Structure 1
Amino acid sequence: MKIPVLENKRVKLSLLDLSNYMHLLPIAQEKDLIYYSPSDISTPEKLKSYVQTAVDNYYNKTAIPFIVFDKLKQAYAGSTRFGLIHWENKVLHIGWTWLGQDFQGTGLNLHIKFLMLEYAFETLNFEKVEFRIDERNIRSRKAVEKLGATFEGILRKDTVMSDGFRRSTSCYGILKEEWSNIKETLYLRL
């Protein structure tokens, strides 16, 4: 699989792996950074394990994990990925996104998602992009809705969190035929 580097004037997304994940250690230790995720990245060992899983999935062609570099602040900001890639059905998920507190609410995430959607629909030629978000994570749900994704329903109590809580997951999607209109709207916001 070709390793994409996605970038524009604001952000650069390059492959996250065991050679560069250490840049994310200070961010990963921020309190409650991924509170709504079943993953745990709160220690160097747990972050390394999280990245190792992403790398393994990359080599199994089911994920493409990215390290996020904010060009405006000249600093590493966090991570995101394409995951649950289903090559035959041409469907993938965008998620596993976490950005340090200094980067939240700055418009960086919009640039990230725009580049990822553009790559998924225009380079990979996929038919659908999905987003799965903890039902309680209102901020992330609103962000995905602002992208133009359609709410498709809730998977009830489908994911076990690290504390044993069974979360319900909100499902959103964007279809390839919707992308040109969404792209135009997002481009104006960039």
Structure 2
Amino acid sequence: MTIPTLENERVKLSPLTLDNYHNLIDIAKEPNLIYYSPSTISTPESLRHYVEVALEGFQTKTVLPFIIYDKQHEQFAGSTRFGLINWKNKVLHIGWTWLGHQFQGTGLNAHIKFLMLQYAFETLAFEKVEFRIDERNQKSRKAVEKLGATLEGILRQDTLMTDGFRRSTCCYGILKKEWSHIKTTIFKNF
């Protein structure tokens, strides 16, 4: 299994590796960038560990990590991945997405998600894509809802955060049978 490169006129998603993660060190230092994540990336060491964990998941065929390059701004913008890949049931998660503050609200995330959803449904032929989001993270919840994802439920206090808080996680999903409608409506200009 290899990590694909996914690309359109706005964004390029390339394999995230120990050879290129250093392009994200300055972005990862931005305050509150992944406030709602149980991970930390704010130091070069913690970012490297974050990438190493992703690459371990790649070795076990459960993760495909990407580095995000914004073609419009000609800069690296952040990271995202497919995770919790269940090859038997054809279900995966899109998440672990973070973008530098200057890239947020620019439409970049919609391009990223379009490429990832298209790959999951049309190339991998998966049946379902899921998103897991901290219940408190209204910005990310609204972004996923704009993509056509359905809130399926909330896992109460299921994730331990770095500060000891136990977060509740909202579970969203898109089914393969919903993709063609979402692609031709929400992503009609892509």
| Residue 134 of structure 1: aligned partner | 134
Give identity over the alignment, percent.
71
The residue correspondences of 1:13-52 to structure 2 (distance < 5 A) are 13-52=13-52
| Residue 119 of structure 1: aligned partner | 119
**RMSD value, Cα:** 0.7
Mapped partners of 1:187, 1:157: distance in 2: 33
Report the 3-state secondary structure (helix = DSSP H, G, I; strand = E; otherwise coil) of the residue aligned with 1:182: helix
| Residue 108 of structure 1: aligned partner | 108
Q: TM-score, normalised to structure 2's length?
A: 0.99
Residue type of the alignment partner of 1:78: G
Mapped partners of 1:158, 1:137: distance in 2: 15
| Residue 61 of structure 1: aligned partner | 61
Mapped partners of 2:188, 2:106: distance in 1: 16
Determine if the alignment matches structure 1 residue 91 to structure 2 residue 81.
Answer: no
Q: TM-score, normalised to structure 1's length?
A: 0.99
Q: Quote how far apart the aligned CAs of 1:186 are.
A: 2.7
Report the 3-state secondary structure (helix = DSSP H, G, I; strand = E; otherwise coil) of the residue aligned with 2:187: helix
1:105–1:189: structure 2 CA closer, same or farther, 3 Å change rule? farther
Checking the alignment, whether the CA contact within 8 Å between 1:114 and 1:186 is kept in structure 2 is no
| Residue 157 of structure 1: aligned partner | 157
Mapped partners of 1:3, 1:79: distance in 2: 14
Residue type of the alignment partner of 2:94: I
Report the 3-state secondary structure (helix = DSSP H, G, I; strand = E; otherwise coil) of the residue aligned with 1:53: helix
| Residue 79 of structure 2: aligned partner | 79
Residues 144-175 of structure 1 show CA distances to partners (whole Å, capped at 9, x for unaligned) of 00000000010000000000000000000000
| Residue 5 of structure 2: aligned partner | 5
Q: Quote how far apart the aligned CAs of 1:189 are.
A: 4.8
Mapped partners of 1:160, 1:29: distance in 2: 22
Checking the alignment, whether the CA contact within 8 Å between 1:135 and 1:169 is kept in structure 2 is yes
Runs of 4+ in 1 over 3 A off after TM superposition: none
Q: Quote how far apart the aligned CAs of 1:2 are.
A: 2.6
Q: Quote how far apart the aligned CAs of 1:94 are.
A: 0.2
Q: Quote how far apart the aligned CAs of 1:4 are.
A: 0.5
Checking the alignment, whether the CA contact within 8 Å between 1:135 and 1:167 is kept in structure 2 is yes
Report the 3-state secondary structure (helix = DSSP H, G, I; strand = E; otherwise coil) of the residue aligned with 2:141: helix
Mapped partners of 1:75, 1:94: distance in 2: 22
Checking the alignment, whether the CA contact within 8 Å between 2:3 and 2:65 is kept in structure 1 is no
Structure 1: any 5+ residue segments left out of the alignment? none
Checking the alignment, whether the CA contact within 8 Å between 1:11 and 1:70 is kept in structure 2 is yes
Residue type of the alignment partner of 1:163: D
Mapped partners of 2:37, 2:100: distance in 1: 15
Report the 3-state secondary structure (helix = DSSP H, G, I; strand = E; otherwise coil) of the residue aligned with 1:97: strand
Structure 2: any 5+ residue segments left out of the alignment? none
